[in-house]
Amino acid sequence: MIIGSHCKMSSKDFLLGSVNEALSYDANALMIYTGAPQNTMRRPVKDLKVKEATELLAQNNIPMENMIAHAPYIINLANCVNASTFELATTFLEKEIARCEEIGLKYLVLHPGSFTTATFDKGINKIVEGLNMVLKQDQKVTILLETMSGKGSEVGYEFEHLKYIMDNTIFKQHLAVCLDTCHIHDAGYDLNDFDTILNDFDKIIGLDKLKVMHINDSKNEMGAKKDRHANIGDGFIGFKNLHYIVNHEKLENVIKILETPYIEEQAPYKAEIALLKSEI
């Protein structure tokens, strides 16, 4: 099983610290932000201890592609109301892709965007426009469009939305999907019947496009459109369903990342990874 969690990247050890954090959870994958998720301040890649982190991964037989990045929340490609927000989204996404390439990261998770006060149709087409401005034919990084909960004016809460974006993007070969269990549950998908969801995904998008999953329980009922993550087994999805999902034979090669909340300021990931790997 390829499984890990979100890991911090704090000053001093940077990516080396992130990899050490992942190893302390017995993880063989991890997700990082290349800088603070809420702002655009970024340290130069040469300061991030990339070489040390890469070597430590290799020593532990963890492929480099198991370290993935998440784009900051401030990138909103669906914004067609405020030109400067869209401009920031495209220029910053371009820089993030370059940073990932420089570090040697293969996957960058991206929230498709929110249309704010415009319309859904305008928003989803703006995302396509943005991706067409940013993606380059020969880039090495794959952008993983994330399935969303449908909170507010989010685009991407149905598999069809992601399919539409992919179909209309020129360099669609650089797009794939990150499926978040909490988000799809909150969007109204019934995780008690996960095989039906997987079949739908395969029919609409194609399972070969599913590269990463965010494994989270949900604090809210199915269809609540809220997006609040709960610890594994503490939410409305439940341990049994999440255990079934992470151990699913069709998802063996998919990288699974926990983004569950800290418990009393402690990361829950070591225990949750062990729980999900356990025989039941």
Residue range at the interface with Zn ion (CB under 5 A); choices 9-17, 86-94, 144-152, 161-169: 144-152
Which residue has the closest beta carbon to Zn ion?
Answer: 146
CA atoms of 88 and 84, how far apart (whole Å) = 6
Tokens of 39: 């702002």
Q: In the complex, what is the shortest distance from the CB of residue 138 to Zn ion, in angstroms, rounded to a whole number?
A: 27
d(CA 139, CA 88): 20
The number of CA neighbours under 13 Å toward the Cβ of 63 is 8
Residue 7 or residue 16: which is nearer to Zn ion going by CB?
Answer: 7
Q: How far is the CB of 180 from Zn ion (least distance, A)?
A: 6
- In the complex, the smallest distance separating the C-beta of residue 58 from Zn ion, rounded to whole angstroms, is 27
Determine whether 13 is exposed, middle or buried from the number of CB atoms within 10 Å of its CB (0-12, 13-18, 19+): middle
Binding segment toward Zn ion, per CB under 5 A, in 48-56, 143-151, 164-172, 225-233: 143-151
Q: Please give the size of the binding site for Zn ion, defined by CB under 5 A.
A: 1
| Helical (H) or strand (E) element with 118 | none
Binding mask 88-127 for Zn ion (x = CB under 5 A): ----------------------------------------
Going by their DSSP bridges, the two strands 229-230 and 154-155 should be labelled as: unpaired
Q: What is the sign, positive or negative, of the torsion defined by CA atoms of 250, 256, 261, 262?
A: positive
Q: Which C-beta is closer to Zn ion: that of 33 or that of 86?
A: 33
Stretch that binds Zn ion, among 21-29, 100-108, 139-147, 151-159 (CB under 5 A): 139-147
> Which of 228, 235, 232 shows the shortest CA–CA distance to 244?
232
| Beta carbon of residue 270, minimum distance to Zn ion (angstroms, whole number) | 22
Considering the complex, state which of residue 146 and residue 186 has its C-beta at the smaller distance from Zn ion: 146
Residue with tokens 């179909």: 167
In the chain, what is the straight-line distance between the N-terminal and C-terminal CA atoms, in Å?
16
What residues between 11 and 50 interact with Zn ion by CB under 5 A?
A: none
Least spacing, CB of residue 10 vs Zn ion, in Å: 20
Report the nearest approach of Zn ion to the CB of residue 227 (Å).
9
Residues of this chain that bind Zn ion (CB under 5 A): 146
